[in-house]
Structure 1
Amino acid sequence: MARPKEFDEREALHKALEVFWRHGYEGSSLADLLAAMGLSKSSFYETFGSKQELFREALTRYQDAQLAQLRARLDDGCPARQSIESFFYAVVDKACPQSNGRGCMSCNEAVELAPHDPSVRRQIERHLSATEEIFADAIRRGQADGSIGGQHDAHRLARFLTVGLSGLQVMARAKSEPGRLEDSLAVMMAALN
């Protein structure tokens, strides 16, 4: 008979997510994860299987939360263009030099692992596709409400915004000069005309 778990699995996963987000997959040792999660090796392996399985679960949790946040921000009852602009300006505001410097976990792992790990690449691709669909829905709504111009295909414009978002997040992680992000954002938002 298995012993009942003496820890909160969701909280342990959240703590692991924070370690992976700050240090990346390769930079997060098992010792770092065990210390942050407050687990023994046996509890870790019994519950999460392996570092790789834990990472995938943490990345999925992060991506699900990001998609839910994006959906909520873009479906806030305001004209679609205003919602999109508000979302992007919040991204740039979070990128200020005194921020935590973690950037976007999905973007970080797209750079670190996706080039040589097909399962992570597929997970990143699914996240990008879902992000594009959320943007496309908002763009179509904006084209219908007149706040976004109709000269661009909604899906292609959504792809542009998704690529722009990833670029902003990578530059935020690199602690880029705020003016560079603001200038780039102004050009991106002009594409909504």
Structure 2
Amino acid sequence: MQSLEYLSTLAFGFLMGRNRQFDEYDVLERATRWVWRHGFSATSMRDIVAATGVAKASIYNAFGSREAFFQRLLIYYIERKQAQSLTLLKAARTGRAALQAYLDGVLHSPSDESYMSGCLIINIAAEQPALDDEAQATINYGLTLIEEQLTRTIERGVKDGSIDRATEPTVAVPCLLATILGLYVLKRQGICQNKLQDMIDAVLDAFAPTNRLVRSEVA
């Protein structure tokens, strides 16, 4: 699989050869917000023009094509946004607390519009849009980063005792990814947050140490 550094270097080198009359990162940020809110499949270049305020001809002149623009957007998201969201899995004191923080981040959206709910890479994967090979490879790379960090978090939780020692990451990680996808879909359907929070709690309880559950039932 091609590394993000390789993909990013190609994109950067391509853009450096083109004369831009706008701030690339500002355009990518505005476009990312739009896609995050409205969905990848539903976003047209007309939407990007409206969201960024940059003429279509200028976007094509800078990025080359619609496909190249969306490829750069995906790389921008992974470098700038996904890396930030994955820090939630590293910062918490225990493995379970880290999973709680990450799933809560999927569910709750701060009022600041620079952050939308969930993970854009997972959201796009849930849409299953028609992608070219390069964009699909970037989506797969983003998913791999999430899977690897979830695996490390579960292993940490097993070690610190906050996750049951019988928990197998190879089984737990797909379960967590399915939970994140479910939260994304159900939230879009307008399911109340209390029910979705109960869903998160139930998933995390499934990973709780057995003796903790027994003590909780006795209490």
TM-score range, shorter chain: 0.7 to 0.9
**1:23 corresponding residue in structure 2:** 38
TM-score for both structures, normalised by structure 2: 0.72
User: Equivalents in 1 of 2:109, 2:58: separation in Å?
Assistant: 36
The one of 139, 143, 147 aligned to 2:154: 139
* Partner of residue 117 from structure 1, selected from 122, 131, 139: 131
Give the alignment of 1:12-161 within 5 angstroms.
12-94=27-109, 104-114=119-129, 116-117=130-131, 119=133, 120-161=135-176
Q: Which amino acid aligns with 2:149?
A: I
- Maintained 8 Å contact 1:17/1:62: yes
Please provide the CA RMSD for this pair: 2.8
How many Å apart are 1:10 and its aligned residue? 1.0
Query: 1:189 Cα shift?
Result: 0.5
Q: Which moved more, 1:25-34 or 1:183-192?
A: 25-34
Q: Distance in 2 between matches of 1:19 and 1:92?
A: 19
* 8 Å Cα contact 1:19/1:36 also seen in 2: yes
- Mapped to 2, the partners of 1:30 and 1:153 lie a distance apart of 43
> How many residues are matched?
188
Q: Distance in 1 between matches of 2:126 and 2:35?
A: 14
Structure 1 residue 77 displacement after superposition: 5.0
Gaps of 5+ in 2: 1-16, 209-219
Is the 8 Å Cα contact of residues 17 and 55 (structure 1) preserved in structure 2? no
Comparing 38-47 with 159-168, greater Cα deviation is found at: 38-47
Matching residue's letter, 1:117: L
**TM-score computed with the length of structure 1 as normaliser:** 0.81
Once residues 145 and 26 of structure 1 are traced to their aligned partners in structure 2, the CA distance between those partners, rounded to angstroms, is 41
* CA gap 1:94/1:21 in 2 versus in 1, 3 angstroms: closer
Shift of residue 185 of structure 1?
A: 1.0
Q: 1:122-165 CA distances to partner (integer Å, 9 max, x unpaired)?
A: 44333222211101101111111111111121232122112211
Distance 1:118 1:44, change over 3 A: closer
Q: Is the 8 A contact 1:24 1:109 kept in 2?
A: yes
Distance 1:86 1:18 in 2: 22
Q: Deviations over 1:1-29 (max 9, x none)?
A: x8853211111111222232233344333
Distance 1:92 1:17 in 2: 19
d(CA) in 2 for partners of 1:113, 1:54: 19
